[in-house]
Structure 1
Amino acid sequence: MTENAAFDWRTFLLRWSGEWADSLRDGDVRGADDEAARQARWLGFPPASEERIAAMERRLGRRMPPSYRSFLAVSDGWRHAGGFVWLLAGTGEARWHANESQLAEMFEEYLDEDADAEELREADLWRRGLQLDVRSDATYVLLDPDDMDEDGEWAVYSWSSWLAESPRRYANFLTFMRDRFREFHSLAAHRSGGEPEFANDTTRELDTRVEGARLGALRGDWSQAVRELDEAGTYGRPRAAGLGDQIRRLLGRGSALTFAGLVTDPRYASDLLPVLVADHAAQSHRDDSTLAFHLRGADDTLVSLAYATLEQVRGGTYRYAAAGPFGEAVGRARELARWGDTDQAWRTLTNALPSWEPLGPDHLVPLGWLADPLLAPLLTPERGLELLSTPRGGRTGEPPEPTAGLDPGGLAWLADPHPGDNHTSYRFVLVEGVGPEELPGRLGDGNDTTLDEPLTLWEARRRLWRDRRESSSYDDRPLMAVGRAGAGWSFAFDGTPAHFDPRRFVSPAATASAGTRAVVVWSDLAARHGKPSFHLSVARDGTEEYAFTYADGAIRRTGDIPRALAPDRHLAAPGAEAERPLLDAVAEYFGVHLPRHALRNGRLHTCTTRSWTRPPEDGETYVVIRMG
């Protein structure tokens, strides 16, 4: 006997019947049969004898699958199989559908010439299936004799004409009935009017499991918690979805998580509303109607807060804040991320996470930081798992292994093409002993020495062309990202420089080095136009100490170049293969690095520098483009 055939149908069906009877309100009973079922606390019928089941099988010409057979031996049919099947067939009503609905033709119309075997078999279901629905709300339930497992179980398919989806498959009849029991619970739990209260043995058991899942999640056992919450959610338990969405958001599951009403609860809005708004901003493309839908039931104050937060998120000005020691760590993490040290920013957050306190009993994990333009880029799928696995909220447990940092250190990573973009030309300035906030004054032209708000690389490029009304072939003033380049160094970086022209190039190293030391690197060794180039210049106290430029197949040197940086050591076979050792040499000699994750995925302050090219000389031609 299979496990499904041995299932205790009577206990299961008695519970279902009793909970259905207790859930009814005045006016819910459809007729005399329902009233009789309510009084008897039994949705079923008398059991079918073995002789009656055998007669049915002779009539249909097939032996019935084990789980349906064992069900019939307890109840010969069933009323209210969920919310949309009002009568399910017993031995007398089950019949071959034989395309009575003519749905086979409709599903076949959807097939194209590339339809696979599964799609063809699905369309033919309406000709071969055994129909179990007797009365329903335009819902069909068919047992499929051609979809049979090793235990002789037939798959069940359910389809409703008012749902825009393919027939839903269940492995067997028992699986289908369990799902109908869950549907009954979910509909009863979500109905309006709440009298009598929908509470019974099943809801109490599930709510106990939800609370256990909540405590487990705070201890770091998120995987077991999400399984329990997902199961309780299918029954419509009111806390399950809101708690589960918090876990799912960090797992990267789902694109429209709403936190199931928690976002409009004043206790949780400060943490959950910003991430809901940020996700909306990322997906809405300025259509804000869905945001109002997710805020239904909220008061005017909260709705106003949501739209104000939306403007901050779209403008990149939202700032996440939290209370207590964790909130203090958030401030430190933002400052680290602001200048590119995203790995240390993440460690700062996770080290403080055990001190984080929930805002209420349905709060599992801090999420508002995912709306912060500086903190949100810290998240990766691996880091989401680390955060969820860290005990917090006063709970203890085994802390997880820290995830690996995202920045490889050094400079050699610059030789690797950006994913999806083979362009590897770049330039940067390193200045020793000054903070990145001082770089605009050292690199600007006197008219523009401001530090702009943090931007992504894409936003910086768009801003550059949006704000620039005039460009010249002799004017090369890049918008550069700035940050920290290691102990005692700051950087300014441009990942999409103009074409390197050694005849007109002017290194900014000398002007940037007043009272300190500055390094300039411009690399296009992997040039797609076939003319690789590389430049290094080092200046101290306003004077260039040494430099070399490789261009047009030749090396030009000035000053006493340290042996570690000597171009002859690295450019004997010039080209892209020389780039990585050159970058390694610069990184090791000066003790610097650039933050890959912040430059590629995060947001950094920017500044516009003076031109990296000299003005035109007499007789030289140039082009000026003005935009209205």
Structure 2
Amino acid sequence: MTDTTPFDWRPFLLRWSAEWADSLTDDGTRSEDDEAARRARWLGFPPASEERIAAVEKRLGRRLPPSYREFLRVSDGWQHAGGFVWLLAGTAEVHWHDDESALADIFEEYLDEDSDPEEWREAGVWRRGLQIDVEADAMHVVLDPEDVDEDGEWAVYSWASWRAAPPERYAGFGAFMREMHREFHSLRAHPSDGEPEFVNDTTREQDARMERARQAALRGDWEGALPLLDEAKEYGRPRAVCLGDQIRRLLGETDVFRLDDVAADLRYAPDLLPVLVAGHAAGPFRSDSALTFHMRGAGEDTVAAARAMLEEMRAGTYRYAPAGPFGKAVGRARELARWGDCDAAWRTLADALPDWLPLGPDHLAPLGWLADPLLGPLLTPERGRELLSTPRGGQRGASPARTAGLDPEGLAWLAAPDSDDPPSSYRFVLLEGVAPADLPGRLADGDGAGLEAPMTSAETRRRAFHGRWEFSSYDDRALVAVGRAGDGWSFAFDGDPAQFDADRFVSPAVAASAGTGTRAVVVWCGSPRPGRGEPFLHLSVARDGIEQYAFTHVDGETHRTGEIPGSLDPGRFSGPGSGSIGERALLAAVSGEFGVRLPRHALTAGRLHTFTTRSWTRPPGEGEGYAVIRLGREASS
């Protein structure tokens, strides 16, 4: 905090002193000075006279900054400023630091001619600064006479070797002392056994502000709630960290989630615990101690629940399933996300938010869905703000504006993906009148072919090569993601296909469409050779096991079969005299002709079921050669 609003020093210092005295036990061991301060309920000293202040200013050759000057008029020095400065200077001790700590030399060693002037200026504060620490725990505190605001306040810089961090800057002495008061509270907020309960006017004020923040957050005013919670966190108030983390996690501002002060309450486990466990599952730490670090105080039941969730998440089987009307909406949203309709899944969740009820007073919003492998990818910062702005938990308020969907209409987005590294090639099959779950029966070999568990596009690429030691130029089986492609249509999509071979390619449209009233559309776009050659395009359409029409445009030539409808005629997509076909125009025509689309968010950021198709190339003919590559230990066996 950098609040520099003027305030009355005496009430502030009297309150601080009383809170410090009350935090001590009657029979504790302490120094004579501390015992005298406890009995007097005063951490300060007699005030400095105007003459004494003027004399020190004459000695220093500078007028002291306003807040420090006013402080000295109330107390000529201070004991226990925070947890690590045991004595702050009064008029007798304050002096120019003159690099007494050698910190200027140390910091300047790391600077060179390319360093920012601000870095040089901050390093030099230890030469020009006015030292105000007298006794401290390896900490140095100075006022900077060259870092002055419009009110004449000098910035305060503090540095401690054990922090392993750059110097802390405060806007002025008043701001520094307020922060030290907060630090004192933060360090005393959790008394040890035998210490008195830490309750005073400041803690009661902060707890009341936290309650106002909680009510505001449930009404949808998260912007008003967050500063109150952040301040309470600085004072070390129990619950403030967990409440603030709930908001920041939904805003996408942090992946860290802590349950320190509510971990012992098992009622929160179904919704808050999954977020903490998911962060651990995604991180590099494997030990139970790392998992329970932010669950201090949790009982055996809570720890056991966390371990069970961790195993489910690593196995990909975790499912978020809350109770009540909101839980029913979660189930519907999962089914929509499962087949790629992420926008509809989000709307299902968002529309059910007014029915959501917290599990207790430390619960601000549903969070367990973030750990669900299908629902978690629905979150964006915009959607997080919509959720947080929605009144819930029995509160009333204005509903926020709906966030826009993430999926564009149709197929044309494939020609201009939102990526710095777009795929050089992709292919997909669209099937009419066939559910996504039934696609393996149409496109895969064997009666037992089925869907794999949902996975991301990156996981799909890794899965395509997992356990394979042999690769043949005639074995072009595709690991495809599946989902719904519009009203009555399903898709199977391969975003990383093998090299296209026009002579050996066999469209899966005919076999996939076998049956009454079934249409299959196959599209393959990309480059015939990585980094070389013109793009190639293929389209084939079959019905009931019979190809209706197809064309392949490769090496500047177009090969046609069947009667191609005018809307899909490749001549419509050719540039004048160029012999090339526009990929984007073809995709727009296909989506217009069949009323189909592909879900961009599910394919690029979500999780979808997958399966492996039969080969897209024909077997070798008589006299044809083919290549087989064997890798690793299989190559030598």
Q: TM-score, normalised by structure 1?
A: 0.96
Q: Residue 144 of structure 2 aligns to a residue in which SS?
A: strand
Match for 2:524 among 522, 525, 536?
522
Q: Check whether the contact 2:429–2:523 (CA below 8 A) recurs between aligned residues.
A: yes
Match runs of 1:292-441 below 5 Å: 292-441=292-441
Match for 1:582 among 566, 569, 586?
586
Match runs of 1:8-407 below 5 Å: 8-26=8-26, 28=28, 30-193=30-193, 195-284=195-284, 286=286, 289-407=289-407
Q: Check whether the contact 1:5–1:69 (CA below 8 A) recurs between aligned residues.
A: no
Partner of 1:500: 500
Task: Kindly provide the amino acid, as one letter, of the partner of residue 217 in structure 1.
Answer: A
Structure 1 position 96, deviation (Å): 1.0
Give me the whole-angstrom Cα distance separating, in 1, the residues matched to 2:7 and 2:296.
43
Give me the whole-angstrom Cα distance separating, in 2, the residues matched to 1:529 and 1:517.
34
Structure 1 position 51, deviation (Å): 1.2
**1:23-76 superposed Cα distances (whole Å, 9 cap, x missing partner):** 222355632322222222222122212111110100111110111111111111
Pairwise CA RMSD:
1.9
Give me the whole-angstrom Cα distance separating, in 1, the residues matched to 2:163 and 2:553.
66
Q: Residue 267 of structure 2 aligns to a residue in which SS?
A: coil
Q: Check whether the contact 1:414–1:424 (CA below 8 A) recurs between aligned residues.
A: no
Q: Structure 1 pair 576/41, CA: closer, same or farther in 2 (3 Å)?
A: farther
Partner of 1:478: 478
Give me the whole-angstrom Cα distance separating, in 2, the residues matched to 1:6 and 1:465.
67
**1:231-260 superposed Cα distances (whole Å, 9 cap, x missing partner):** 011001112111111111111223432133
Structure 1 position 618, deviation (Å): 1.2
Give me the whole-angstrom Cα distance separating, in 1, the residues matched to 2:520 and 2:255.
46
Q: Residue 328 of structure 1 aligns to a residue in which SS?
A: helix
Partner of 2:547: 544
Partner of 1:604: 608
Structure 1 position 194, deviation (Å): 6.2
Partner of 1:445: 445
Partner of 2:566: 563
**1:133-190 superposed Cα distances (whole Å, 9 cap, x missing partner):** 1112222111111211222111101112221111111010000000011111111112
**1:278-297 superposed Cα distances (whole Å, 9 cap, x missing partner):** 11122226465421323333
Structure 1 position 448, deviation (Å): 5.6
Partner of 1:554: 557
Q: Check whether the contact 1:262–1:269 (CA below 8 A) recurs between aligned residues.
A: no
Q: Check whether the contact 1:78–1:89 (CA below 8 A) recurs between aligned residues.
A: yes
Q: Structure 1 pair 214/430, CA: closer, same or farther in 2 (3 Å)?
A: same
Q: Which moved more, 1:518-527 or 1:60-69?
A: 518-527
Task: Report whether the alignment pairs 1:626 with 2:630.
Answer: yes
Q: Which moved more, 1:106-115 or 1:265-274?
A: 106-115
Partner of 2:621: 617
Q: Check whether the contact 1:219–1:389 (CA below 8 A) recurs between aligned residues.
A: yes
Give me the whole-angstrom Cα distance separating, in 1, the residues matched to 2:183 and 2:444.
66
Q: TM-score, normalised by structure 2?
A: 0.95
Q: Structure 1 pair 352/196, CA: closer, same or farther in 2 (3 Å)?
A: same
Q: Check whether the contact 1:262–1:272 (CA below 8 A) recurs between aligned residues.
A: no
**1:441-498 superposed Cα distances (whole Å, 9 cap, x missing partner):** 0001226621111111111111110133432101110000000000000000001111
Task: Kindly provide the amino acid, as one letter, of the partner of residue 524 in structure 2.
Answer: W
Give me the whole-angstrom Cα distance separating, in 1, the residues matched to 2:431 and 2:383.
32
Give me the whole-angstrom Cα distance separating, in 2, the residues matched to 1:394 and 1:273.
23
Can you give the 5+ residue segments of structure 2 that lack an aligned partner in the other structure?
A: none
Give me the whole-angstrom Cα distance separating, in 2, the residues matched to 1:222 and 1:52.
50
Q: Check whether the contact 2:557–2:579 (CA below 8 A) recurs between aligned residues.
A: no
Partner of 1:592: 596
Give me the whole-angstrom Cα distance separating, in 2, the residues matched to 1:5 and 1:219.
30
Q: Which moved more, 1:106-115 or 1:362-371?
A: 106-115
Give me the whole-angstrom Cα distance separating, in 1, the residues matched to 2:35 and 2:581.
84
Structure 1 position 326, deviation (Å): 0.4
Q: Check whether the contact 1:533–1:552 (CA below 8 A) recurs between aligned residues.
A: yes
What is the percentage of aligned positions where both structures have the same residue?
Answer: 67
Q: Check whether the contact 1:246–1:259 (CA below 8 A) recurs between aligned residues.
A: no
Q: Check whether the contact 1:440–1:450 (CA below 8 A) recurs between aligned residues.
A: yes
Structure 1 position 510, deviation (Å): 0.8
Give me the whole-angstrom Cα distance separating, in 1, the residues matched to 2:434 and 2:506.
22
Structure 1 position 512, deviation (Å): 0.8
Can you give the 5+ residue segments of structure 1 that lack an aligned partner in the other structure?
A: none
